[in-house]
Amino acid sequence: MTGKKPRNLLYLDGVSVSFDGFKALNSLSFVVEPGELRAIIGPNGAGKTTMMDIITGKTRPDEGEVFFKGDIDLTKKDEAAIAELGIGRKFQKPTVFENHTVWDNLELALNRSRGVFATLFYRLTREDKNRIEEILSTVRLTARRDDLAANLSHGQKQWLEIGMLLAQEPELLLVDEPVAGMTDAETAETAILLKEIARTRSVVVVEHDMGFIRDLGVKVTCLAEGSVLAEGSIDFVSNDPKVIENYLGR
Amino acid sequence: MITSFLVKSLDRTIVVAVAILLALAVIVPALNLLTAPEHPLHVPTYLVSLFGKYLTYALLALALDLVWGFCGILSLGHAAFFALGGYAMGMYLMRQIGARGSYGNPLLPDFMVFLNWKELPWFWYGFDMFWFAALMVVLVPGLLAFVFGWFAFRSRVNGVYLSIITQAMTYALLLAFFRNDMGFGGNNGLTDFKDILGFNIQADGTRAALFAASALALAVSLVVTSGIVRSKFGKVLVALRDAESRTRFLGYRVEHMKLFAFTVSATMAGVAGALYVPQVGIINPGEFAPANSIEVVIWTAVGGRGTLIGPIVGAILVNGGKSIFTAAFPEFWLFALGGLFVLVTLFLPKGVVGTAQNYLASRRASHAAARKESESEKAASLADAETVAAE
């Protein structure tokens, strides 16, 4: 099997998982290429978040295969190991460390060794400092670097979390509803930012906002009831009768 | 590496606290030993021992603050580590008695002779040497914490469940140490100590030295703990306390982080116990009682969790109150303690020190804001004056 898929960054095949008899994922198959930006849509309960849980090691699939970079079996690894492999995740609800400053949030996310003693004797190097400053300006939070993350607005928290993901330097970014609760201007800027990020890594975005997905202008996968309903450009997918019936029409 | 760690640990409050502790370590013994009993500044020996005991309690509370305040692990079994450190020291002190016990056996402590034991159990070997006992003081609690934490954190036992199993751990040890055939003196524990490192344990000089040692141990632990919580590791601890799964997704091995903090904390509690035993003259299984561990939580909460200084203040305040209260109205102490906990939780959730720090910070912030405002006003009026002059 491994010989067949060395090019795919992420490869899911026949993944099923059920919770108390409810099939959250039903033989889901799905591939992401290196450098691809992919949008995922689907009604509530379609299995979008469960799919992310499986990729990041939070949930183990009942059956099916999940491979990263061709031959790394993600079903055998835990969250920390998968994060270190280079898969970053942004949650639906912005989750930043509220009791830390914006700067410290980024410092914690920075892709450096994460052992007990490495962190105990960590010193901020010039290189790390420059990197954090660079990210701060990318996500427009330079002015608030010393403020507690708890005091940021909702949109700023979302941006800080995206900044934390950048600091992690992942090869694959999973982004769950990045523009929920954002103004139209913020939404448009987030689309620009994500496209920028996708130039150097793969990004998978789960989103409900069809306008936002149109802004992204990428390949779309529509999930429903735990498996792939349709895949293609936004116009192709939104004209698919099954998609209209299951998702758009409702 | 180590120096930067230490420099980071020393912010102003910590420097002041360490200076106070070091000063106490010199002044209190001096006032006790060098002044005549009728001198107005004389510190009687009983007070030296009493406050020496408070300092060991303060160290225990500081140890709990590292795991509870910064890491979110509400340990209800920290007194177990304290008691284990105490037992290790007690075993050393028992073996120092030698042939001076009631039964005059040069090798076996009195309780073993009484139980008709013929030889010293293997786990008492080595405790005639101070260095070995001192090693066990940190090793035994540390090892227990490591093994316990390894299983608990790896299985992701969190919150209330973790608190309950720490409570079960100390209760199990309580029952075990009550048994005579465990070989630790059963119900009576270890007592009737004679000397420590060759000095009479009842002598004023020894008591003063133990006080100084307790103050010193507390000062050193404060610097180390402060270094830990101000390092990047400490930031990870706070991060995992507030959002554990987020921290995992950043790639941190949360269980390793917790395990390290828990083990360090347990060794600190062990040292506290070892300094406590010679000052009170006894260690018995009662120290393992779950209520003791809960009291430590109350001291920490009263002083202010997550502030490092708070638990020290809390331990001394509550125990000072306890000494006074139990003398005046002995039957009401537990009600007072329970009431205190409820009141602090309701009205001072950050504890005495946390509330004071917040108050000072907000005053400083409003001062700074006021200064900025007056400066900009001044600048504006200056600009006005200039325009007027130009016209």
Cα nearest neighbour of B260 on chain A: A116
Is some CB atom of chain B closer than 8 A to the CB atom of A185?
no
**Which of A100, A109, A120 minimises the CB distance to B231?**
A120
CA distance B313 to B58: 7
| CATH code of the domain in which A176 resides | 3.40.50.300
Decide if A53 is inside a domain.
yes
Instruction: Write out chain A residues lying below 8 Å of B4, CB-based.
Output: 121, 123
Is residue A145 domain-resident?
A: no
A115 shares contact with chain B (CB less than 8 Å)? yes
Is the model's pLDDT at A41 over the cut of 80?
Answer: yes
Nearest to A99 among B1, B5, B238 (CB): B238
pLDDT of residue A235: 86
**Domain region containing A183:** 2-96+172-248
ipTM: 0.85
Domain range summary for chain B, segments of one domain joined by +: 2-349
B25 touches chain A (CB under 8 A): no
Judged by a CB distance cut-off of 8 A, whether residue A125 touches chain B is no
Q: Say yes or no: B383 contacts chain A, CB-CB below 8 A.
A: no
Contacts of B249 in chain A (CB under 8 A): 56, 79, 83, 88-89
Tell if the CB–CB gap between A56 and B238 is shorter than 8 Å.
Answer: no
Structural domains in chain A (count): 1
Name the residue among A99, A122, A168 with its Cβ closest to that of B250: A168
Q: Is A151 on the interface with B (CB under 8 A)?
A: no
Give a yes or no: residue A111 inside a domain.
Answer: no
Question: What average pLDDT does the segment B193-210 reach?
Answer: 94
Calpha distance A35→A52 (Å, rounded)? 18
Nearest to B236 among A119, A123, A164 (CB): A119
A99-111 b/e (C-beta count within 10 Å ≥ 16 → b): bbbbbbbbbbbbb
C-alpha–C-alpha distance, residues B12 and B384, integer Å: 42
Q: Identify the residue among B232, B242, B258 best suited for mutation to test binding to A, counting A beta carbons within 10 A and taking the highest.
A: B232
Query: What share of chain B has pLDDT > 90, as a percent?
Result: 72
**A235 belongs to a structural domain:** yes
Residue of B nearest to A95 (CA): B246
For chain B, the three-class secondary structure string (H helix, E strand, C coil) is: CHHHHHHHHCCHHHHHHHHHHHHHHHHHHHHHHHCCCCCCCCCCHHHHHHHHHHHHHHHHHHHHHHHHCCCCCCCCCHHHHHHHHHHHHHHHHHHHHHHHCCCCCCCCCHHHHHCCCCCCCHHHCCCCCHHHHHHHHHHHHHHHHHHHHHHHHHCCCCHHHHHHHHHHHHHHHHHHHHCHHHCCCHHHCEECCCEECCEECCCHHHHHHHHHHHHHHHHHHHHHHHHHHHCHHHHHHHHHHHCHHHHHHCCCCHHHHHHHHHHHHHHHHHHHHHHHHHHHCEECHHHHCHHHHHHHHHHHHHHCCCCCHHHHHHHHHHHHHHHHHHHHCHHHHHHHHHHHHHHHHHHCCCHHHHHHHHHHHHHHHHHHHHHHHHHHHHHHHHHHHHHHHHC
Q: Do B252 and A80 touch (CB under 8 A)?
A: yes
Could you tell me the pLDDT band of residue A2, with boundaries at 50, 70 and 90? very low
Tell me which residue in B1, B233, B249 faces A119 most closely, judged by beta carbons.
B233
pLDDT at A1: 45
**B245/A contact by beta carbon, under 8 A:** yes
Enter the pTM of the model: 0.89
Q: CB-based contact (8 Å) between A166 and chain B?
A: no
Rounded to an integer, what distance in angstroms lies between the CA atom of residue B236 and that of residue B71? 9
In this structure, is residue A222 part of a structural domain? Answer: yes
Indicate whether B313 pLDDT > 60: yes
Asked if the structure places residue A163 within a domain, the reply is: no
Q: Percent of chain B scored above 70 by pLDDT?
A: 94
CA distance A94 to B243: 11
Each residue of B350-366: pLDDT tens digit?
Answer: 999 989 888 888 888 88
- A201 vs B214, higher pLDDT: B214
Q: Residue B127 in contact with residue B136, Cβ under 8 Å?
A: yes
Kindly tell me if the per-residue pLDDT of A54 is higher than 60. yes
